């Protein structure tokens, strides 16, 4: 018998787990949900799963509700919604679609309902509810198919909407509230039915049999209602971020995870804009003292945020900065209002009559300004016009919109005001319409024009940290930053060879630093990945990336030919590989002197010309020769402006408009153009880039008579920043294959450099000194820009770790700098490292390409030496 079928003992605790839209949209996410539910069950807990609609579905259902008269649009939306659910059904590999089809039939029925004509609110609510009804039905089927016996529960059986005093009709149907307390009877009745349930977020019963919805994002609230009803051990909100952060992490990558909050603080952060938690979901659980945890569906091991009754939070600190857009301000001006009895009551009565709930208030002798929040109000222009007309009986009215409210949240806000000067100075430069300080001493809010808010928030967040009003050093409250968590995820994703070889690397560093260490196995692995793409007829290694002899030998053994950009490179290559046939060498120089071309031709090396000058001025050198032509397709690509090699701003290649002249000159001198080459830049991670280069070169080649080879250059990127997605080799292979099918007459060549060696090299250095200047910590190491110039030259980002303290938790935010007398001698900015001490070994990763080879003796310091593992 399935373990989920045996009823748990009567006193087994409940856990409510809620999954948002993105967490329920694909089969792998449902596998995560199954894993999370099964883990709780195995620990002896009953599980109630609350789900949102698949991401985007509520928006589409809402669009139907809002444009019921537009038949064509409604039909389109209906088809999209049906197709989306059928697609997930297919992806889940389920066999009987009845459940889903029944809800889709209900959608058709609602579309045919006469209430549609008037767009009745009760009808809209029924339409909206279908998202959650369908997702929970799909989920139940899938979880059962995995062997986790899961009972489908209609939330409307348990949650009853309750009209609030003065609530407008809109709120009653589309932003309803439920009042719940612990209900042992319902809990016992469910416990008698099974151990695992799945129910819909967002919906509740209204009256006897109608349906209301709880407002956008309301599934969190449903989970909280169920948590209170069952007096659960915890309510877990599983979403697409690993907790509540000190700012929206998608807007502020340096935002810190808030490890622990009390209900009041969480309420304040949620109310003032942090979408991760619906503001109405704190109240029900607080009354029953049920803790909330916020967790990441994709990274269940991370601790997340815990919201509890009481935190031992110490000194006052700003915990978060949040923002809300779409705020409307209503400014009411009247000279007679001063000390006039009942003025506020009169104007607020008007708001009440229009069902509008007021958020912030500012008042002066002759003016009262209030804000209206779109999440609590239906704020269309009709409503506002009617409001203003009625208000004009008492005062002059001005509506200011769209505005945004920026809020600083933290306990003891008033005690921190004196430290906020830098933050206030930022606001000083803007038009601030309203400032409000909450009477619970938890928040300070500024209302400004909406347009400036997005760029302002990251700046303010940084200022709060700098002024130490956001005390990120307090480990009780603040966890790692969003960026750091992303880095960790990336590190797990690509376990680097240097982690495995840590012992050997430390031993090498003990001998001497600074020092580059290369792992040839890693070079071979990259080479084999490329070699497996059958479409490319010949791979060349662009040896300028790293001409270390052992690397050249390894790649030769892997079947690679070579691409050189100077005569010295050719000579060095031939010294290392004397047996290498000259025709396996491609020479692609740029603005090189005439002798280099002559020497290469004399050696039998294939030469690529990338300008008119050589063929126009030294034409006789190329007489009777086969040459390649490097064209500039007009636009560069790459990870930094300095690595883009296309377009007029770049010195490479012959522009399309000069190709005809080049061909005439070649013909005149008896040179045969047998290959076309294009290389638009480096560090490209989008596989489709080469398809487009390939197609352009191929169609150009058809205008020539004897092109044999198309050379797409290199530029294959390696992910460096944690958020980079690695180049998809399979997609690259497929894209190339597709073009090859259309142009089988041309051979396809490519010439990557960095892709083969970047990850194979690390730079080892030792800490020389540490320093603190104001807020800024420096860690000095014995390798500087004379060993690795990429960060200074291209602002390249390299992972940097303290190899001696690899597993120690990061403690400090530091700048990692070298010993060179240049302000730009910085290898890494704002990195979180464990406290570093003189002599610690620091490893700079992904330094195998354009590292040692660009080294210099600047300051008369020797650049890092090189060694292979």
Q: Give the residue numbers annotated as catalytic, written as ranges.
A: 821
User: Residue 352 class from Cβ within 10 Å (0-12 exposed, 13-18 middle, 19+ buried)?
Assistant: middle
Give yes or no for residue 217 binding Mg ion (CB under 5 A): yes
User: Which entry of Mg ion, ligand ADP, ligand ASP, none binds 218, CB below 5 to 8 A by partner kind?
Assistant: ligand ASP
User: Looking at beta carbons, which residue is closest to ligand ADP?
Assistant: 20
User: Which entry of Mg ion, ligand ADP, ligand ASP, none binds 248, CB below 5 to 8 A by partner kind?
Assistant: ligand ADP
d(CA 345, CA 178): 29
Size of the site for Mg ion (CB under 5 A): 2
Distance of CA 12 to the CA centre of its chain: 39
Instruction: Please give the full DSSP string across 761-829, using - where no structure is assigned.
Output: EEEEEEEEEEEEETTEEEEEES--TTT--HHHHH-----EEEGGGTTSPP-EEEEEE-SSSSTT-EEEE
| End-to-end CA separation in angstroms for the chain | 54
Type and span of the H or E element at 509: helix 502-511
Contact indicator for 423, 466 with CB cutoff of 8 Å:
no
Closer by beta carbon to ligand ASP, 175 or else 445: 175
If phi over 0 gives left and psi between -120 and 50 gives alpha, with beta otherwise, what is residue 464? Answer: alpha
Helices 71-91, 121-145: inter-axial angle, 10-degree rounding: 10
User: Residue 614 class from Cβ within 10 Å (0-12 exposed, 13-18 middle, 19+ buried)?
Assistant: buried
How is residue 88 written in tokens?
Answer: 């997930």
Residue where the block lists tokens 């910085």: 826
**672-677 and 654-655 beta bridge pairing:** unpaired
CB of 266 to ligand ADP, least distance (A): 10
Give yes or no for residue 215 binding Mg ion (CB under 5 A): no
Where b means 16+ CB within 10 Å and e means fewer, 543-565 reads bbbbbbeebbebbbebebbbbbb
d(CA 337, CA 332): 10
Contact indicator for 727, 768 with CB cutoff of 8 Å:
no
Type and span of the H or E element at 506: helix 502-511
**Backbone torsions φ then ψ of 777, nearest 5 degrees:** -100, 135
Closer by beta carbon to ligand ADP, 131 or else 681: 131
**Backbone torsions φ then ψ of 728, nearest 5 degrees:** -90, 100
User: Which entry of Mg ion, ligand ASP, ligand ADP, none binds 200, CB below 5 to 8 A by partner kind?
Assistant: none
Closer by beta carbon to ligand ASP, 57 or else 320: 57
Closer by beta carbon to ligand ADP, 250 or else 353: 250
How is residue 426 written in tokens?
Answer: 């930022």
Distance of CA 239 to the CA centre of its chain: 14
User: Which entry of ligand ASP, Mg ion, ligand ADP, none binds 244, CB below 5 to 8 A by partner kind?
Assistant: ligand ADP
CB of 287 to ligand ADP, least distance (A): 22
Nearest to 628 by CA among 684, 588, 579, 594: 588
CB of 278 to ligand ASP, least distance (A): 7
Query: Residue 537 has what DSSP assignment?
Result: S
CB of 282 to ligand ASP, least distance (A): 15
CB of 29 to ligand ASP, least distance (A): 14
CB of 293 to ligand ADP, least distance (A): 13
Closer by beta carbon to Mg ion, 217 or else 479: 217
CB of 462 to Mg ion, least distance (A): 27
CB of 203 to ligand ASP, least distance (A): 9
Closer by beta carbon to Mg ion, 373 or else 563: 373
Closer by beta carbon to ligand ASP, 58 or else 251: 58
Site residues, ligand ASP (CB under 6 A): 20-21, 52-53, 58, 131, 201-202, 216-219
Q: CB-hemisphere CA count at 13 Å for 534?
A: 3
Site residues, ligand ADP (CB under 6 A): 20-23, 52, 217, 239-241, 244-245, 247-250, 274-276, 320
Closer by beta carbon to Mg ion, 178 or else 190: 178
Beta-carbon neighbour count of residue 332 at 10 Å? 23
Closer by beta carbon to ligand ADP, 273 or else 851: 273
Contact indicator for 584, 562 with CB cutoff of 8 Å:
yes
CB of 25 to Mg ion, least distance (A): 13
User: Which entry of ligand ADP, ligand ASP, Mg ion, none binds 58, CB below 5 to 8 A by partner kind?
Assistant: ligand ASP
d(CA 631, CA 689): 16
User: Looking at beta carbons, which residue is closest to Mg ion?
Assistant: 217
User: Which entry of ligand ASP, Mg ion, ligand ADP, none binds 250, CB below 5 to 8 A by partner kind?
Assistant: ligand ADP
CB of 558 to ligand ASP, least distance (A): 51
Closer by beta carbon to ligand ASP, 219 or else 513: 219
The residues binding Mg ion (CB under 5 A) are 20, 217
């Amino acid at each position: 018998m399935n373990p989920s079928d045996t009823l748990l003992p009567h006193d087994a605790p409940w856990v409510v787990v809620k999954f948002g839209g993105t967490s329920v949209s694909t089969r792998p996410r449902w596998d995560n949900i199954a894993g999370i539910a099964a883990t709780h069950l195995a620990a002896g807990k009953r599980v109630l799963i609350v789900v949102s609609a698949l991401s985007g579905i509520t928006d589409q259902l809402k669009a139907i509700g809002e444009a019921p008269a537009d038949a064509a649009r409604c039909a389109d939306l209906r088809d999209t919604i049906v197709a989306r659910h059928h697609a997930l059904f297919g992806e889940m590999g389920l066999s009987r679609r009845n459940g889903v089809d029944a809800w889709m039939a209900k959608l058709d029925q609602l579309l045919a309902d006469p209430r549609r004509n008037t767009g009745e609110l009760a009808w809209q609510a029924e339409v909206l509810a279908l998202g959650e009804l369908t997702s929970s039905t799909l989920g139940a089927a899938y979880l059962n198919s995995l062997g986790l016996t899961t009972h489908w529960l209609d939330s409307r059986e348990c949650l009853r909407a309750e009209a609030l005093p003065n609530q407008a009709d809109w709120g009653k149907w589309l932003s309803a509230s439920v009042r719940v307390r612990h209900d042992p009877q319902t809990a016992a009745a469910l416990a008698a039915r099974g151990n695992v349930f799945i129910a819909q977020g967002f919906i509740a019963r209204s009256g006897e049999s109608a349906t209301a919805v709880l407002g956008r994002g309301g599934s969190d609230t449903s989970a909280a209602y169920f948590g209170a009803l069952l007096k659960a051990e915890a309510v877990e909100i599983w979403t697409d971020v690993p907790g509540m952060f000190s700012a929206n992490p998608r807007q502020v990558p340096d935002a810190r995870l808030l490890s622990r909050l009390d209900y009041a603080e969480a309420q304040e952060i949620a109310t003032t804009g942090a979408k991760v938690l619906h503001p109405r979901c704190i109240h029900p659980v607080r009354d029953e003292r049920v803790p909330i945890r916020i967790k990441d569906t994709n990274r269940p091991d991370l601790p997340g945020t815990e919201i509890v009754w009481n935190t031992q939070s110490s000194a006052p600190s700003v915990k978060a900065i949040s923002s809300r857009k779409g705020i409307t301000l209503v400014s009411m001006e009247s000279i007679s209002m001063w000390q006039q009895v009942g003025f506020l009551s009169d104007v607020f009565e008007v708001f009440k009559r229009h069902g509008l709930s007021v958020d912030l208030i500012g008042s002066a002798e002759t003016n009262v300004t209030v804000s209206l929040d779109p999440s609590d109000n239906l704020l269309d222009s009709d409503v506002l016009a009617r409001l203003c007309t009625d208000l004009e009986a008492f005062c002059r009215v001005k509506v200011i919109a769209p505005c945004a409210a920026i809020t600083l949240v933290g306990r003891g806000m008033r005690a921190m005001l004196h430290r906020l000067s830098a933050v206030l100075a930022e606001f000083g430069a803007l038009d601030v319409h309203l400032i409000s300080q909450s009477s619970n001493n938890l928040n300070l809010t500024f209302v400004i024009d909406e347009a400036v808010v997005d760029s302002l928030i990251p700046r303010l967040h940084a200022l709060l940290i700098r002024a130490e009003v956001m005390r990120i050093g307090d480990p009780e409250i603040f966890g790692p930053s969003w960026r750091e968590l992303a880095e960790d995820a990336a590190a797990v994703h690509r376990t680097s060879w240097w982690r495995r070889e840590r012992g050997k690397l430390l031993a090498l560093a003990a001998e001497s630093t600074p020092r580059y260490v290369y792992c040839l196995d890693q070079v071979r692995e990259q080479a084999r990945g490329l070699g497996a793409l059958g479409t490319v007829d010949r791979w060349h290694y662009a040896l300028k990336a790293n001409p270390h002899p052992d690397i050249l030998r390894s790649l030769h053994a892997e079947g690679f030919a070579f691409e050189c950009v100077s005569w010295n490179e050719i000579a060095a290559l031939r010294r290392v590989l004397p047996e290498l046939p000259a025709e396996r060498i491609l020479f692609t120089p740029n603005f090189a002197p005439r002798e280099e071309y002559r020497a290469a031709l004399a050696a039998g090396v294939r030469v690529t010309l990338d300008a008119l000058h050589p063929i126009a001025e030294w034409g006789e050198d190329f007489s009777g020769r086969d040459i390649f032509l490097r064209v500039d397709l007009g636009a560069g690509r790459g990870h930094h402006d300095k690595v883009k090699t296309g377009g007029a701003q770049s010195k490479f290649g012959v522009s399309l408009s000069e190709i005809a002249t080049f061909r005439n000159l070649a013909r005149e001198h008896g040179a045969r153009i047998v290959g076309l080459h294009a290389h638009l830049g480096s560090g490209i991670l989008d596989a489709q880039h080469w398809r487009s280069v390939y197609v352009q070169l191929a169609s150009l080649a058809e205008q020539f008579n004897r092109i044999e080879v198309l050379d797409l250059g290199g530029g294959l990127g390696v992910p460096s920043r944690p958020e980079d997605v690695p180049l998809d080799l399979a997609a690259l292979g497929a894209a190339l294959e597709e073009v090859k099918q259309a142009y089988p007459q041309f051979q396809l060549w490519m010439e990557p450099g960095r892709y083969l060696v970047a990850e194979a090299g690390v730079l080892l250095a030792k800490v020389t000194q540490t320093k603190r200047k104001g807020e800024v910590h420096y860690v000095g190491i014995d390798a500087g820009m004379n060993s690795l110039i990429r960060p200074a030259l291209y602002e390249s980002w390299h992972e940097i770790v303290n190899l001696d303290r690899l597993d120690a938790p990061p403690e400090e935010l530091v700048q990692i700098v070298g010993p060179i007398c240049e302000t730009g001698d910085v290898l890494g900015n704002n990195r979180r490292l464990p406290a570093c001490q003189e002599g610690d070994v620091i490893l700079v990763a992904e330094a195998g390409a354009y590292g040692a080879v660009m080294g210099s003796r600047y300051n008369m310091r020797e650049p890092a030496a090189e060694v292979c593992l």
